[in-house]
Amino acid sequence: MGMSMDSGPMAYTSRHAGLRLTEEEEALLAFAAAGITGFALGDLNYSDGQGGTILASTLGRTIPSGDAIHTCGLIVINAEATYYLRRPQDFTADEITELAQLSAKGDYLKLYRRCRINIGQGGMYPPTHPFVNINCNQWALYDPAATYFLPVADYTCMYINALLEIFNEHNGAFIVDERAWFRPAGVLRYARSRGGHLQSDPKAERTLTIQQLESMVTEFVSTEMGMMIQNLMLMAQALGLGGFPHWAAHPYGWFKTLGFQMQPVRASWFLKMPAPLSWLAGIFGKDPTIPMVTGLTCHDVPLMIPFCPPNYPTMEAAVLAVADKKWGSQGIFRGGAKHSSWKEPEKIASAAQSLSPAALDATIAYCEYVYRRYRRFPAYQMPLRTLLGFQVNHPDLEFYDRFYPPGALGESQRDHMKKWHGAA
């Protein structure tokens, strides 16, 4: 409604004014995508060597998340404001209990208001030109009557948490650097050939390259973003709204627009060019500045802060911060176990083995190697990433009746205006 496709065989101009989503409609969509539901079950085996301590939190929401880390934040943009929806880890245990009660009662509007933080004015969008966006979406993007949902993923916590597991004595993974003649990625001294605990014999099939490891982390986290989009699609259909997922994968376009903290770096630095090539690129004006996202803070409140410099002085400090979430005095396997769905949390805490010193040392060594050699963490991409956006509108039924056979729209779309807005 309120939109126009100016040319082509489906050229059409809606005769209806655009209609913004109500706050309740937004609340239901936000809950479907990233609603906080309470405490996760954490039904794993916590005996020594069984991998249960890969769990990184005891919190849950409407989409699953590897190790209950909840890597993805959600940005919601309408004509009035831009909001960041806080993740489960952004609340205290008492607040989680309160939010779960709102969820159980179906008070989604109050839950939405409790979870969102206003981070800027409404209608904050990057340009539509390639390749901030792609051509096929230009006609429909950023309708002022629409509400826009943008998942944002943090790769660093999942990455470090996985390293703490695969570098323990039970898994003994060994990582090599494919861009440095497959030499060990900072972990040579932990190899079994050197008296350590990591299985460095390729025949054991426990050897990974940095790229293989980071690709797995990327796929895991990207799946979480995809589930957000899927739930938005399902809720839009249930409400009788229209919406479409689309490209939002520019490495920094969205972050600059939304006011994330950025660190300017030279392209030669980002690409790790050899010194002679960097010098030549500068001489010939081929070494542009690239903004690299470092996090999101609003009104001095940290919202999405990746576990890497400049947010931490070193990668060692970042690794220790992740470990502390699990084994610190208030970590989920220590004092924080009481904030969970377990009936007998003290039994879980006592059964969960302490972090292996060898795994911790190997993780620190590897992370410091990656940051020292590639000047960022992860090595292959930004620590935060956008991939897909989802825009939700009120559909103009007359357009679909004009260009599609009966059945293209369902009863939920046909009845939406009457049920939600009291209109014939």
The tens digit of pLDDT for each residue in 389-422 reads 999 999 999 999 999 999 999 999 999 999 999 8
The tokens for 108 are 């989604």
Instruction: Write down the pLDDT at residue 267.
Output: 79
Instruction: Write down the pLDDT at residue 273.
Output: 77
- Structural contact between residues 39 and 341, judged by C-beta atoms closer than 8 angstroms: yes
CB contact set of 40 (below 8 Å; sequence gap of 6+):
57, 58, 59, 60, 68, 341
Does pLDDT of 103 surpass 80? yes
CA distance 79 to 26: 12
Sequence letter at residue 381: Q
**Residue 200, exposed/middle/buried by CB under 10 A (0-12, 13-18, 19+)?**
buried
Question: Which band of pLDDT confidence, cut at 50, 70 and 90, is reported for residue 339?
Answer: very high
pTM over 0.85, yes/no: yes
CA distance 169 to 358: 8
In this structure, what DSSP letter does residue 98 have?
A: H
Instruction: Write down the pLDDT at residue 206.
Output: 93
Does pLDDT of 373 surpass 80? yes
- Average the pLDDT over 107-111 and give the result: 97
- Average the pLDDT over 209-233 and give the result: 97
Please indicate whether residue 25 or residue 406 has the higher confidence score (pLDDT): 25
The tokens for 95 are 């607040």
Q: Percent of the chain scored above 90 by pLDDT? A: 87
Question: Which band of pLDDT confidence, cut at 50, 70 and 90, is reported for residue 424?
Answer: low
Does pLDDT of 179 surpass 70? yes
- Structural contact between residues 213 and 55, judged by C-beta atoms closer than 8 angstroms: no
Q: Indicate the SS3 state at residue 20.
A: coil
The tokens for 267 are 């392209």
Cα angle vertex 352, ends 351, 356, to 5°? 130
Q: Indicate the SS3 state at residue 55.
A: coil
> Around 58, how many Cα atoms within 13 Å sit in the side-chain half-sphere?
25
> Around 231, how many Cα atoms within 13 Å sit in the side-chain half-sphere?
22
- Going by their DSSP bridges, the two strands 81-85 and 72-77 should be labelled as antiparallel
Instruction: Write down the pLDDT at residue 269.
Output: 73
Cα angle vertex 82, ends 79, 87, to 5°? 145
What is the distance in angstroms between the CA of the first residue and the CA of the last residue of the chain? 15
- Average the pLDDT over 42-46 and give the result: 93
CB contact set of 122 (below 8 Å; sequence gap of 6+):
77, 78, 79, 80, 81, 82
Residues making up the chain, counted from first to last: 424
| pLDDT tens readout for residues 280-330 | 888 888 888 888 999 999 988 999 999 999 999 999 999 999 999 999 999
Does pLDDT of 131 surpass 90? no
| pLDDT tens readout for residues 169-178 | 999 999 999 9
The reply to whether omega before 91 is within 30° of 0 (cis) is no
Does pLDDT of 365 surpass 80? yes
Report phi then psi at 297, rounded to 5.
-130, 140
- Average the pLDDT over 363-390 and give the result: 95
Instruction: Write down the pLDDT at residue 61.
Output: 95
| pLDDT tens readout for residues 249-277 | 999 999 999 999 999 888 787 777 777 88
Does pLDDT of 213 surpass 70? yes
- Average the pLDDT over 110-131 and give the result: 94
The tokens for 43 are 């039904």
Cα angle vertex 79, ends 74, 84, to 5°? 20
Mean pLDDT rounded to a whole number for the chain: 94
- Structural contact between residues 160 and 367, judged by C-beta atoms closer than 8 angstroms: yes
CA distance 397 to 406: 11
CA distance 166 to 219: 17
